[in-house]
Structure 1
Amino acid sequence: MIQTALARRSRLPALLLTLACLAVLGYVVYRLETTPSTDDAYVYADTIDVVPEVNGRIVELPVHDNQLVKQGDLLLRIDPRPYRDALVQAKARLITLDRQIELTQRSVNAQEYEAASAVAGVERARAQAKQAGDTLRRLEKLLPGGYVSIESVDQARTAQRSTGAELNTARLQAQRAAAAVSGVDALVAQRAEVEAQISIAELNLEFTEVRAPFDGRVAALRTTVGQFASAYKPVFTLIDARHWYIVANFRETDLKDIQAGTPATLYLLSDTGRHFRGWVDSISYGVMPDDGGAVVEGLPRVQRSINWVRVSQRFPVKIAVTTADSGLFRIGASAVAILHPGEAEAHSPADAPPHAQQH
């Protein structure tokens, strides 16, 4: 009996240890199921290429590599002299054209006056011709009765022919005067073209200054003052320091309870003592298959670590960081992401990042 009791007592610690291990294992499984995490993650931020929109030599470059700049800060300045001269030239052309339009308008006004005078001359010649014709007809009726002389009739007939000729001459003069009225439409069209050239010259002069469109950090700067910059050719990169993300690759079995707005705890391997808050911005809907399937260009490739065992595929989950430290976050830095699907409903949608609210 004593030996049996001792045997039971000796087995009790082992039993308790086994139960404790099972409890710990159950807790770990529970945590893995309710709070999926991964260390297959990295820091990401949007970037743009800083490109001048005009050609020219760089005369000012007030930034240096890895510098933090504010929105509106001058990034680089292209030599403005050629574009300033082009603007002055275009404005001078506009002034000259306005003077030419003014002088031409005066000439046109004179031509129109002459044309109006010619029309009045036609009317006057027509009236004289009508009067001469009426006089001739009256005299011809009086000639048989001897009330007028033949000489008077001949004079009236000559006057009729003369006034008719004068009427024809007046008509030709009126036609020539009307044809001589040229107008200023062509010059006005040229003026619109010059105004467009002025607008382009002003825009090009404005483009000689390249300013930061947002708060960001300069990266990959490999040039200096004096370098000739070509339009639309990148000079350096600007990282958007306003919004930082963690792209974490989660197993497909962990995605069922993850959705946009799910809260996350994040930390970087460069400083594991600092934790950051974040929200799931979006979940990828495609990766490059690596098992011989169809290749879809443009999708991210996530390698599987064990090729001879069927393992779960992993999909990138984009997490917006709400408490990022711009001095600590670097694109590509290793990170760890822990999601809390059960807490998604405990937060107001207003607390979610802007991108998450759109989903």
Structure 2
Amino acid sequence: MAMASANSSPAKTEGGKPPKKLVAFAVVVVALILLVVVIRMVDQAPRTDDAFVYADTVDVVPEVNGRIVDLPVHDNQAVKQGDLLFQIDPRPYNDALTRARASLVALNKQIELTQRSVNAQQYNAEAARAAVERARAASEQANDTLRRTEPLLTNGFVSAEEVDRARTASRSARAELAAAQLQAQQAAAAVSGVDALVAQRAVIEAEIATAELNLEFATVRAPFDGRVVALKTATGQFASALKPIFTLIDTRHWYVVANFRETELKGMLPGTPATVYLMSDTGQRFKGRIDSIGFGIASDEGGLALPGGLPHIQRSLNWVHVSQRFPVKILVENPNPDLFRVGTSAVVVLHPGQDGHDDHDDHDANRHPE
């Protein structure tokens, strides 16, 4: 009877322990539940550790040639907008500006003197025109006298000598009129002008403007708050125009570029909240929002001739079809200026469908990357 009782309790093994199959089944059920929870969390808050810190940069290049006489910055130094970055020897450009200004003064004096001469020529031309009018009046009077005198010769009221004198006077008046007209034409032709000199003044004024601009270019200041990097020169180096001296990182705005799979892009929009932390200090969390989502990447497939400039993202597996990844640019709010560096590895957690951050966001971000 005792043995029969023992055989009638198959649910337990020796020592009252559950069977191994039941334990395995429970483990599988728990694993499936955890898998569902993880998938749900990933769908609600996409995350990736394929991300890096990014900021806009500019190459600081001089726009004039010259020797660097002042270089108050050093490599990796933070600068403020308007701070002096370097000074190119301004003496050649000061001399050019002084020479151009002196040329303008001399030209103005020449224009003034020439204008006086032109005024005198104009007075002579006016006098010549007045002489023409006098000669014309005298010629007309002589002609009138001749017309009145000639009929009187037939009746004997005047002598032939008097008629001859009237004819001579008429011819002489006509000759004087022709000479006066010729002198008037010569006087009018002699009147010059200052138009050519005024045109030269415009050229010199343009030279002055160029010299002033070159002198201004000799002093290079920071266009925005930033940090100097890749500085490999010193005072005394000859700087060539349009050749970079160093790079300036724009520290006014910091971004994190996160590469998300194309299957995760649904629901991502500019303005979507995000939580960011850097691998250099995982204890600090930073809030941000999507600034933009990439619309093109370079692909290795198909042998296509792709336009330059597209981001290249290497697929980790080539023998299976892997979801492509696209860069999502996130603007970071209140970044730590001592922590953010271009290229730093980062982790990003997105919060689609939320208007802001809450404690739950920070809790999600505390998870470490896989």
Matches within 5 A, 1:311-322: 311-322=322-333
Q: Which residue of 1 aligns with 2:229?
A: 219
Q: 1:71 aligns with which of 59, 81, 86?
A: 81
* CA offsets 1:41-83 (integer angstroms, 9 cap, x no match): 1111110010111111111111100000001111111111111
1:125 aligns with 2:125: no
State the shift of 1:128 in Å: 0.2
State the shift of 1:15 in Å: 5.7
Q: Which residue of 2 aligns with 1:282?
A: 292
Distance 1:230 1:346 in 2: 50
Q: 1:10 aligns with which of 3, 12, 18?
A: 18
Matches within 5 A, 1:291-330: 291-296=301-306, 297-330=308-341
State the shift of 1:24 in Å: 2.2
State the shift of 1:92 in Å: 0.6
Q: Kindly indicate whether the alpha-carbon contact (under 8 Å) linking 1:267 and 1:337 is maintained by their aligned counterparts in 2.
A: yes
Q: Kindly indicate whether the alpha-carbon contact (under 8 Å) linking 2:48 and 2:349 is maintained by their aligned counterparts in 1.
A: yes
Distance 2:174 2:295 in 1: 95
One-letter code of the match for 1:125? A
Q: Kindly indicate whether the alpha-carbon contact (under 8 Å) linking 2:273 and 2:356 is maintained by their aligned counterparts in 1.
A: no
Q: Which residue of 1 aligns with 2:344?
A: 333
Distance 1:115 1:309 in 2: 98
State the shift of 1:17 in Å: 4.8
Q: Which residue of 2 aligns with 1:200?
A: 210
- Size of the aligned set, in residue pairs, is 346
Distance 1:214 1:147 in 2: 108
TM-score normalised per structure 2: 0.90
Q: Kindly indicate whether the alpha-carbon contact (under 8 Å) linking 2:259 and 2:328 is maintained by their aligned counterparts in 1.
A: yes
State the shift of 1:13 in Å: 6.3
One-letter code of the match for 2:122? E
Q: Kindly indicate whether the alpha-carbon contact (under 8 Å) linking 1:52 and 1:234 is maintained by their aligned counterparts in 2.
A: yes
Q: Which residue of 2 aligns with 1:350?
A: none
Structure 1 outlier segments of 4+, above 6 Å: none
Distance 2:28 2:318 in 1: 34
Q: Kindly indicate whether the alpha-carbon contact (under 8 Å) linking 1:288 and 1:295 is maintained by their aligned counterparts in 2.
A: no
Name the CA shift for 1:229/1:251 in 2 (closer, same or farther; >3 Å).
same
1:267 aligns with 2:273: no
Q: Kindly indicate whether the alpha-carbon contact (under 8 Å) linking 2:60 and 2:248 is maintained by their aligned counterparts in 1.
A: yes
TM-score normalised per structure 1: 0.92
Matches within 5 A, 1:227-238: 227-238=237-248
One-letter code of the match for 1:111? Q
**SS of the counterpart of 2:169?**
helix
**SS of the counterpart of 2:338?**
coil
Distance 2:32 2:174 in 1: 130
State the shift of 1:281 in Å: 1.1
Distance 1:89 1:298 in 2: 46
Q: Which residue of 2 aligns with 1:31?
A: 41
Q: Kindly indicate whether the alpha-carbon contact (under 8 Å) linking 1:276 and 1:321 is maintained by their aligned counterparts in 2.
A: yes
Q: Once structures 1 and 2 are overlaid, which stretch shifts more, 289-298 or 71-80?
A: 289-298
State the shift of 1:305 in Å: 1.4
* CA offsets 1:97-149 (integer angstroms, 9 cap, x no match): 11111101000000000000000000000000000111111111111111111
One-letter code of the match for 1:279? R
CA RMSD of aligned residues (A): 1.7
State the shift of 1:4 in Å: 4.0
Q: Which residue of 2 aligns with 1:61?
A: 71
One-letter code of the match for 1:341? P
Q: Once structures 1 and 2 are overlaid, which stretch shifts more, 282-291 or 214-223?
A: 282-291
Matches within 5 A, 1:86-101: 86-101=96-111
Q: Which residue of 1 aligns with 2:189?
A: 179
One-letter code of the match for 1:276? F
Distance 1:295 1:108 in 2: 70
**SS of the counterpart of 2:9?**
helix
Distance 1:15 1:204 in 2: 82
Percent of residue pairs bearing the same amino acid type: 64
State the shift of 1:14 in Å: 5.9
Q: Which residue of 1 aligns with 2:365?
A: none
**SS of the counterpart of 1:237?**
strand
Q: Which residue of 1 aligns with 2:58?
A: 48
Q: Which residue of 2 aligns with 1:164?
A: 174
Distance 1:167 1:336 in 2: 103
Give 5+ residue unaligned stretches, structure 1. Answer: 348-359
Q: Which residue of 2 aligns with 1:353?
A: none
Q: Which residue of 1 aligns with 2:366?
A: none
* CA offsets 1:202-245 (integer angstroms, 9 cap, x no match): 11111111111110000100001111111111111000000111
